[in-house]
């Protein structure tokens, strides 16, 4: 049957010495380890003054631009080489530009099969009347998906650096939110009440008509984000949180990015393998047309709007 050893007996065992060595309390080779921190070195005032005097003397002798002949020669040589180098760069650029094809020339590198395909087959392949939107969200959907991921990652990084705990926000709600501006500006609130619905509707219009006219997810999302910033500037975060808070932000942003990724993946798989897409292109010119262009515009607009509002909210109060 086991029994409890005395402390003096246990300290003589190998296990005790091993754990003392492992914890840094004792070294079996050199004895007790020094665990006390060293005292801070305090330099004498006379030594400091002498060192500063030597430094000033060295600076005066080495960097004396009036009497130091070597430094004067170096400054003149540096200016001459700088001028020669700039002239050489300008000459090389002018010589290179002289070999560029003239504007509108048929042999320009930009006049190739890619641009011809966008113009000739763009409407047939994408169903979007706006060729630019069809190109960005169909032919080059992978690039746009990367840009959307950049927005998502940028917002995550800003949240990591500036996000404040909800408990701290609830404690300092007034002082952290609107300390440097009037809490109830009647003129701003009246203007925001009139303009915010119009801004939201116009932003939604730009997103939904991005495949029919100039616009799309980026510009429409920026418009909606500006409207949200105007609303929160007029009425504060407490009132804005009734319809758009941190939970709504996370759901919208993550869902939009996931849905965008799924649609683009499906589009790539069908196109790369020559399969016919099940997403109809619709009738060109109608609102429900453009194939994947319309839903992608909606997802991109949601990402941009959430990113703009998140940046403003995080830099202003440290929370959404």
What is the per-residue DSSP string for 188-243? Answer: HHHHHHHHHHHHHHHHHHHHHTTTTSS--HHHHHHHHHHHHHHHHHHHHHHHHTTT
List own/partner pairs for 194-197 with CB under 8 A and 24 or more apart: 195/227, 195/230, 196/227, 196/230, 196/231
**Which has the higher per-residue pLDDT, 61 or 211?**
211
Res 161: pLDDT = 86
The C-alpha atoms of residue 138 and residue 145 are separated, in whole angstroms, by: 11
Highest mean pLDDT (candidates 12-26, 177-191, 197-211): 197-211
289, 211 Cβ separation under 8 angstroms: yes
Q: What's the mean pLDDT in 138-161? A: 87
Name 26's bridge partners.
Answer: 32
Count of beta carbons in the 10 Å neighbourhood of residue 132: 14
Categorize the per-residue pLDDT at 26 as very low, low, confident or very high, splitting at 50, 70 and 90. low
Average pLDDT over residues 268-272: 78
Which of the four pLDDT bands, split at 50, 70 and 90, describes residue 1?
Answer: very low
The pLDDT value recorded for residue 96 is 92
Q: What is residue 82's predicted lDDT score, i.e. its pLDDT?
A: 95
| Higher local confidence (pLDDT), 46 or 32 | 46
pLDDT of residue 113: 79
pLDDT of 179 reads: 58
The pLDDT-based confidence of 163 (bands split at 50, 70, 90) is confident
CA 124, 127, 133, 136: dihedral to nearest 10 degrees? -60
Identify the H or E element spanning 26.
Answer: strand 26-27
Written as six digits, the tokens of 205 are 């219009």
Given a cut of 70, is residue 34 above it in pLDDT? Answer: no
Helix ranges (H only) for the chain are 7-10, 14-22, 45-62, 69-97, 113-126, 131-134, 141-162, 166-171, 173-177, 186-208, 217-240, 246-272, 293-317
Predicted pLDDT of residue 27 = 58
Whole-prediction pTM: 0.63
Whether the predicted pLDDT of 73 surpasses 60: yes
More confident position, 174 or 277: 277
Q: Are 118 and 135 in contact (CB under 8 A)?
A: yes
């Amino acid at each position: 049957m086991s029994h409890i050893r005395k402390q003096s007996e246990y300290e003589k065992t190998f296990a005790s010495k091993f754990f003392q060595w492992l914890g840094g309390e004792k070294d079996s080779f050199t004895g007790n380890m020094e665990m006390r921190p060293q005292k801070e070195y305090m330099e004498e005032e006379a030594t400091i003054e002498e060192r500063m005097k030597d430094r000033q003397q060295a600076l005066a002798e080495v960097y004396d631009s009036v009497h130091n002949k070597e430094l004067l020669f170096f400054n003149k040589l540096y200016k001459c080489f700088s001028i020669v180098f700039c002239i050489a760069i300008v000459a090389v650029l002018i010589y290179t530009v002289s070999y560029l094809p003239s504007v509108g020339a048929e042999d320009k590198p930009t006049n190739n099969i890619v641009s011809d395909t966008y113009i000739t087959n763009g409407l047939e392949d994408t169903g979007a009347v706006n060729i630019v939107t069809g190109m960005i969200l169909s032919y080059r959907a992978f690039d746009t998906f990367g840009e959307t991921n950049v927005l998502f990652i940028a917002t995550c990084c800003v949240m990591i650096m500036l996000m404040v705990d909800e408990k701290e926000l609830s404690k300092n709600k007034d002082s952290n939110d609107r300390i440097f501006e009037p809490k109830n500006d009647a003129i701003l609130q009246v203007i925001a009440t009139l303009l915010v619905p119009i801004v939201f509707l116009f932003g939604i219009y730009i997103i939904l008509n991005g495949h029919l006219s100039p616009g799309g997810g980026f510009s429409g999302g920026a418009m909606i984000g500006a409207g949200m910033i105007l609303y929160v500037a007029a009425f504060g975060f407490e009132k804005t949180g009734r319809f758009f808070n941190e939970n709504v932000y996370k759901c919208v942003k993550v869902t939009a990015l996931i849905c965008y990724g799924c649609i683009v993946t499906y589009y790539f798989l069908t196109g790369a393998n020559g399969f016919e897409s099940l997403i109809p292109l619709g009738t060109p010119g109608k609102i429900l047309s453009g194939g994947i262009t319309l839903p992608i515009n909606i997802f991109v607009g949601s990402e941009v709007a959430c990113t703009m509002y998140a940046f403003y909210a995080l830099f202003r109060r440290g929370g959404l």
